Amino acid sequence: MKWQGRRESANVEDRRGAAAAGGAGVIIMLLRFIIGRFGIRGVMILGVVGLGLYMVGVNPVSLLQGQSASTQQAAPADDNTSRFVRVILAETEDVWSTLFGSNDYPEPTLVMFSGSVTSACGYASAASGPFYCPGDKKLYLDTSFFNELAERFGAPGDFAAAYVIAHEVGHHIQTVTGISNQVRSAQQRAGNEVEANALQVKMELQADCYAGVWAHYADRTSKILDAGDIEEGLRAANAIGDDTLQRNAGRRVTPESFTHGTSQQRQDWFTIGYRNGDVNRCDTFSAGSL
Ligand SMILES: [Zn+2]
């Protein structure tokens, strides 16, 4: 992407280096991470290790607190990652304020954090991935996710990272237009998980389509894209499809548990948005499942 030297958004809060909570937060975060990665067996092993440490005279809790104290150094505010995030957010502001009619687009705030963060949606750790919180209309991004995208998901490149930001901005659009609330009510009416998940998938695919709409204008109007950028975005969409995630985690692929859509669906909806640059083409709710 040709992002260097462009306008940077002022709507970025840099909370990297500020731990959400003290030692307790770190311990909760660690437990969530271990449960997420290794299941309850991981917690049991951790317990055994902790007990072992305790028996040889080391307090495992203070060990963790020591760890958290050492990670609280403030990150430089003007590093490359921060500038990149500010430029991409500014690019989304330009596109969406044009599409909304310039004064009608309420710009969201993006919070960069490291480790863990507290939002109007509650406590979150880096393990939960980037998210949008409708309660405070903020995007939350642990920038280490970009490395994860490259290393764990095999989707490197600046546009892959930009797609992730544009997808979260897509959720902001859904909140502003009221789609989010409509979906939440429909999920409550449905009252069962399978149907609620199906609605969630449509919601996520629409955010992918909106990311595509942004990419359309980023490419045609702003000319920020390089050759190969769209492929980077598609690779990211492919890597974080529910079926691919389940398969890579060694789990059985169970479509009724999907919350984001398959790799193919995610790529398809991003492409629909990108090709047409038209939000009206992003009606994932009335479209048959692609
Ligand atoms: Zn999403």
- Distance (Å) from CA 37 to ligand 1 centroid: 20
The answer to whether the CB of 136 falls within 8 A of the CB of 110 is no
Distance CA 157, CA 135 (A): 31
Identify the pLDDT of residue 72: 45
Q: Which protein residues have a CB closer than 5 Å to ligand 1 (ion)?
A: 204, 207
pLDDT per position as a tens digit, 208-218: 999 999 999 99
Query: Whole-angstrom Cα distance, residue 106 to residue 25?
Result: 32
Task: Tell me how far the alpha carbon of residue 21 lies from the centroid of ligand 1, in angstroms.
Answer: 25
CA of 80 to the centre of ligand 1 (A): 25
- How many angstroms separate the alpha carbon of residue 222 from the centre of ligand 1? 24
Q: What is the pLDDT of residue 106?
A: 96
| Cα–Cα distance measured from residue 243 to residue 255, given in angstroms and rounded to the nearest whole number | 7
Query: How remote is the CA of residue 57 from the centroid of ligand 1, in Å?
Result: 45
Amino acid at 246: Q
Query: In angstroms, rounded to a whole number, what is the distance separating the alpha carbons of residues 238 and 232?
Result: 10
Q: How far, in Å, is the centroid of ligand 1 from the Cα of 208?
A: 8
Confidence at residue 74, expressed as pLDDT on a 0 to 100 scale: 53
Domain ranges of the chain: 23-70, 75-282
Cα 136 to averaged position of ligand 1 atoms, centre (Å): 16
pLDDT at position 289 is 45
Strand order in the sheet with 12-15: 12-15, 109-113, 138-142, 131-133
Going from the Cα of 66 to the center of ligand 1, the distance in angstroms, rounded, reads: 34
Q: Which two tokens stand for residue 171?
A: 């959720």
d(CA 189, ligand 1 centre) in Å:
22
Q: What is the pLDDT of residues 73-131, one digit of tens each?
A: 455 566 899 999 999 999 999 999 999 987 899 999 999 999 999 999 999 988 888 99
What pLDDT, on a 0 to 100 scale, did the predictor assign at position 135?
95
Judge contact between 95 and 215, C-beta under 8 A: no
How far is the centre of ligand 1, averaged over its atoms, from the C-alpha of 13 (Å)?
20
CA-to-CA distance for 198 and 261, rounded, in angstroms? 9
The tens place of each residue's pLDDT in the chain, 290 residues long, gives 999 999 999 999 999 987 655 445 566 667 777 777 777 777 777 777 767 766 666 666 555 544 444 444 455 566 899 999 999 999 999 999 999 987 899 999 999 999 999 999 999 988 888 999 999 999 999 988 888 888 888 888 899 999 999 999 999 999 999 999 999 999 999 989 999 999 999 999 999 999 999 999 999 999 999 999 999 999 999 988 999 989 988 999 999 999 999 999 999 999 999 999 999 999 999 865 44
CA 10 to ligand 1 centroid distance, Å: 23
